Amino acid sequence: MDSSSDINFSPTIEDGLWILFKENVAPRVSSNSLDLTDINILELGPGEKSIFENRDWNLFYGRPNSIVALDKNVAKIVALPGELPPLPNDFLNYVQGDITEKIPGGEYQLIFDSHCIHCLIDAEDRAKAWKNIFNALRPGGRVAGEMMVAHKFMQFNPPFFYAEAERILYKIVGETLRPLRKILSHLEVEQEILSAGFEIEYFFFAKGRKFSFDPAYEYAWKTDPDCLLWIAKKPSVVICSRTHPN
């Protein structure tokens, strides 16, 4: 066997986020064991399907009070862009919105990044998104997720092209380069999270957890981007700097 691949994907990309949530995030955000009944969650970038849809909530003492699944392109939109649904028909609602512009609602205990942040290419957009995420969390709230990160063995084959200086992964489409992902190193991600005002609680790479652009992916290749599992906390007391009157 080729020495560069011998690890099956475990878990699959689809299940990875749910496992991160139930094993590492839920026990941190719930004050009373795994009772999530008072918890309001915002999910970023659910795409076609929220990671919270059709899950077994019997694993917990109580399911979350509400989940807003926010995406700028969702098929299942039930509210106007940027607005919360007027009459939520269930605890999980899909909402259209752009996290670089406005995050609807607020005072969330948890913001869960379902592979959205690494899609933000522009540095200014990323800074705005981090600021919006920070402001939408209640003090002591958490933001968590999985993120694609660069490493020294990372390599892509056409039609993908990684511009290392810009940290941007492009797809070559005819004569043009279409930006797909921002792939920072783990140190750059760490710096971004800290600069946004968060404390880092969990920062973990699991062997065999990779992001793949191979449509028939079955194996984790050593040249694939790493998968960083991370949890950050908004401090309970936010210190505002202010100029002394004297």
Ligand X SMILES: C[S@@+](CC[C@H](N)C(=O)[O-])C[C@H]1O[C@@H](n2cnc3c(N)ncnc32)[C@H](O)[C@@H]1O
Question: Which residues would be at the binding site for ligand X (CB under 6 A)?
Answer: 45-47, 71-73, 98-100, 114-116, 119-120
Return the number of the residue (71 or 192) whose C-beta is nearest ligand X. Answer: 71
Q: What residue number has its CB nearest to ligand X?
A: 45
CA distances from 14 to 155, 188, 232, 246 (A): 23, 26, 22, 56
CA distance 91 to 107: 16
Shortest Å, Cβ 35 to ligand X: 26
Shortest Å, Cβ 42 to ligand X: 11
Return the number of the residue (109 or 114) whose C-beta is nearest ligand X. Answer: 114
Q: What are phi and psi of 168, to 5 degrees?
A: -115, 135
The type of residue at 31 is S
Structure token pair of residue 121: 């290419």
Shortest Å, Cβ 113 to ligand X: 9
CA distance 123 to 214: 27
Return the number of the residue (115 or 210) whose C-beta is nearest ligand X. Answer: 115
Shortest Å, Cβ 244 to ligand X: 38
Does the CA dihedral 213-214-218-220 come out positive or negative? negative
Shortest Å, Cβ 122 to ligand X: 10
Return the number of the residue (29 or 74) whose C-beta is nearest ligand X. Answer: 74
Nearest Cα to Cα of residue 108 among 186, 36, 201? 36
Shortest Å, Cβ 150 to ligand X: 17
Shortest Å, Cβ 99 to ligand X: 4
Return the number of the residue (72 or 167) whose C-beta is nearest ligand X. Answer: 72
- Sheet with 168-173, edge to edge strand ranges: 160-163, 168-173, 176-182
Return the number of the residue (72 or 138) whose C-beta is nearest ligand X. Answer: 72
Alpha helices (H) along the chain: 13-20, 26-29, 123-136, 186-195
CA distance 31 to 159: 47
Return the number of the residue (47 or 88) whose C-beta is nearest ligand X. Answer: 47
Does the CA dihedral 42-171-203-194 come out positive or negative? negative
